[in-house]
């Protein structure tokens, strides 16, 4: 069952319940109003009949014992004339004494509980006469307002007009309710079509995306600022993220395939050389083994880098321990000195700085920056490592006098597998994962990595990390790292 039909059914059922309750309330209210009108007529008739009897229908007599008594004259009931009311007069013992002419030969008995009434009270009862319901009012008849009861007055009224009115009202309410329900169901059915059209459009677009495998499509955003507009915006954002993820995945697969092809091809070539008898030549054998060992090391390094980046996306937590950056800087200088060759490696400013983080990860980030600088610095150039406190941040800078980075390449250098022109790399470059790892390590420590470079004038990479206080708690980081120019690079030889 479609959502449109379910909404129509739910609304119609709710409307039907509300309509039934409203009709019941209306029916009861009208019924009580009509009955109160009948009761008012009965009370007015009783007062009229009581006035007739007090005017002359009560006759005083002296009993044989000498007591004064009252005789109720039944013929006075015939004086009462009202086309809608019937009058009867009963003695104090409940005997019928007289009735109005419109009753004919029909008698309406006096209810037994009427004999228990006290002066000034009244009793309502129901009778049926020839299939017609009657509402009856009985009131005691007294000579004075506080005198003894000498008889009973009974006024009756037929309820045929009331029942007819209620039946007509019930018919109107039932018919009108049915028409209202039908109209409401039809209206909701058609209105829900317009209201749910954006959802149908979302489903149609999603189906088109699935069939065409085109994540570039977007759902048109409705103009009305409501929940559907918000849902559409969220879906479009989701599609945008999915498109970016799938694009990144395809690019990652293509880049990994490309990077794996080169070392595997080199290894296959060396195996071909060995299979053709190169193993008999010791010099050629050692050269082939060295090449395969180098390519194997490159593959292992690439796999480790990919594994590290995958762990970064899975939310792996880094260690939190005090790290003396000045000591770490000297250690990096010693490690890079064996790889520097004809490139001068220096230490510039060296402040004593302690941060909270993972020492191994920070060392890996600095090594990646140092190796990257060595790869793009020609012989005779220089690389300077420095450490400074700048505006509540620790600035680890690696500056080189190498080839620099073109302006169009700067926005992309931290992307995975992105490499600038290999012709500017002294060793042919790596797999393009080093700077991406540096960026992740910096962000994992609450910092950031920045770069300042110009083609032909060298590059300066700075790793910004938040400092710690006396209690070895990370200091509050600024909304953005200080300007790179604040982090100076000295030229003191290491």
The residue extents of the domains of the chain are 3-165, 227-313, 321-486
**Banded pLDDT at 212 (limits 50, 70, 90):** low
pLDDT computed for residue 315 by the predictor: 59
CA atoms lying within 13 Å on the CB side of residue 252:
15
Q: What is the mean pLDDT of the chain?
A: 80
Please check the confidence at residue 36 and state whether its pLDDT lies above 90: yes
pLDDT at 481 (0 to 100): 52
Tokens of 58: 């009560």
d(CA 451, CA 266): 34
Q: Is the pLDDT of residue 294 over 90?
A: no
Most confident range, picked from 18-22, 239-243, 270-274, 348-352: 18-22
When comparing pLDDT for 9 and 1, which is higher?
Answer: 9
With 60 as the cut, is the pLDDT of residue 375 above it? yes
Q: Give the pLDDT confidence score for residue 68 in this predicted structure.
A: 55
- 227-313 maps to which CATH number? 1.10.287.130
Closest by Cα among 153, 149, 166, 154 to 127 = 154
> What are 300's two structure tokens?
């292992």
Instruction: List the single range of 22-26, 54-58, 484-488 with lowest mean pLDDT.
Output: 484-488
Residue 404: pLDDT over 60: yes
The band of 426, judged by pLDDT with boundaries at 50, 70 and 90, is: very low
Residue 477 predicted with pLDDT over 50: no
Higher pLDDT, 143 or 309: 143
Q: What is the mean pLDDT of residues 45-59?
A: 83
- Tell me the average pLDDT across 397-419: 81
Query: In this predicted structure, what is the pLDDT of residue 27?
Result: 94
Q: What is the pLDDT of residue 67?
A: 58
The CATH code for residues 321-486 is: 3.30.565.10
Q: Establish whether domains 3-165 and 227-313 are of one fold.
A: no
Q: What is the mean pLDDT of residues 408-418?
A: 76
- Evaluate if residue 39 carries a pLDDT over 60: yes
Residue 466 near residue 407, CB atoms below 8 Å: no
**What is the model's pLDDT at position 399?**
92
- CA 368 to chain centroid: 44
Is residue 483 pLDDT above 60, yes or no?
no
Closest CA to 398 of 424, 372, 429, 363: 372
Contacts of 22 (CB under 8 A, 6+ apart): none
Q: Pick the residue with more confidence: 179 or 306?
A: 179
> Does pLDDT of 387 surpass 70?
yes
State which fold the 3-165 domain adopts. Beta-Lactamase (3.30.450)
The residue count of the chain comes to 494
pLDDT at 432: 66
C-alpha–C-alpha distance, residues 356 and 472, integer Å: 7
Mean pLDDT over 306-332 rounds to 77
Residue 470's pLDDT is what? 43
In this prediction, residue 460 has a pLDDT band, given cuts at 50, 70 and 90, of: very high
Percent helix, percent strand, percent coil in the chain, to nearest 5: 50, 20, 30
Beta strand residue intervals within 205-361, DSSP E: 321-324, 344-350, 354-357
Q: Helix axis angle, 359-375 relative to 325-340, nearest 10°?
A: 30
- pLDDT given for residue 66 in this prediction: 57
């Amino acid at each position: 069952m479609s959502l449109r039909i379910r909404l129509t059914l739910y609304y119609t059922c709710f409307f039907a319940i509300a309509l039934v309750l409203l009709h019941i309330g209306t029916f009861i209210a009208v019924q009580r109003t009509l009955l109160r009108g009948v009761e008012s007529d009965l009370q007015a008739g009783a007062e009229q009949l009581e006035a007739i009897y007090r005017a002359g229908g009560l006759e005083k007599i002296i009993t044989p014992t000498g007591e004064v008594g009252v005789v109720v004259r039944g013929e006075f009931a015939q004086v009462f004339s009202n086309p809608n009311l019937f009058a009867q007069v009963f003695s104090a013992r409940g005997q019928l004494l007289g009735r109005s002419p419109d009753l004919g030969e029909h008698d309406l008995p006096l209810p037994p509980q009427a004999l228990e009434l006290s002066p000034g009270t009244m009793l309502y009862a129901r009778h049926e006469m020839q299939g017609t319901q009657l509402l009856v009012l009985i009131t005691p008849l007294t000579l004075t307002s506080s005198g003894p009861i000498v008889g009973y007055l009974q006024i009756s009224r037929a309820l045929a007009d009331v029942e007819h009115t209620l039946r007509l009202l019930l018919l109107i309410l039932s018919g009108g309710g049915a028409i209202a329900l039908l109209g409401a169901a039809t209206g909701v059915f058609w209105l829900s079509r317009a209201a749910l059209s954006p959802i149908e459009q979302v489903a149609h677009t999603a189906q088109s995306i699935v069939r065409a495998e085109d994540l570039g499509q977007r759902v048109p955003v409705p103009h009305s600022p409501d929940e559907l507009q918000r849902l559409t915006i969220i879906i479009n954002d989701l599609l945008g993220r999915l498109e970016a993820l799938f694009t990144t995945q395809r690019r990652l697969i293509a880049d990994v395939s490309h990077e794996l092809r080169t070392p595997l091809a080199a290894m296959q070539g060396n195996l071909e050389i060995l299979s053709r008898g190169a193993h008999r030549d010791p010099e050629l054998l050692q050269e082939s083994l060295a090449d395969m060992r180098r390519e194997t090391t490159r593959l292992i390094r690439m796999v480790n880098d990919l594994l590290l980046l995958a762990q970064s996306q899975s939310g792996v937590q880094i260690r939190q321990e005090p790290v003396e950056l000045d000591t770490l800087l000297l250690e990096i200088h010693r490690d890079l000195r064996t790889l520097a060759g004809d490139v001068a490696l220096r230490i510039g400013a060296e402040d004593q700085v302690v941060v909270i983080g993972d020492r191994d990860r920070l060392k890996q980030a600095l090594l990646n920056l140092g190796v990257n600088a060595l790869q793009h610095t020609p012989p005779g150039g220089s690389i300077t490592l420095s450490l400074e406190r700048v505006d509540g941040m620790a600035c680890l800078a690696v500056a080189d006098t190498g080839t620099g980075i073109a302006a169009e390449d700067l926005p992309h250098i931290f992307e995975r597998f992105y490499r600038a022109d290999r012709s500017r790399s002294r060793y042919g470059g790596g797999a393009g994962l080093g700077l991406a790892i540096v960026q992740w390590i910096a962000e994992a420590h609450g910092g950031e990595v920045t770069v300042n470079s110009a083609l032909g004038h060298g590059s300066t990479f700075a790793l910004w990390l938040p400092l710690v206080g006396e209690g070895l708690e990370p200091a509050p980081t600024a909304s953005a790292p200080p300007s790179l120019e604040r982090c100076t690079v000295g030229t003191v030889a290491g």
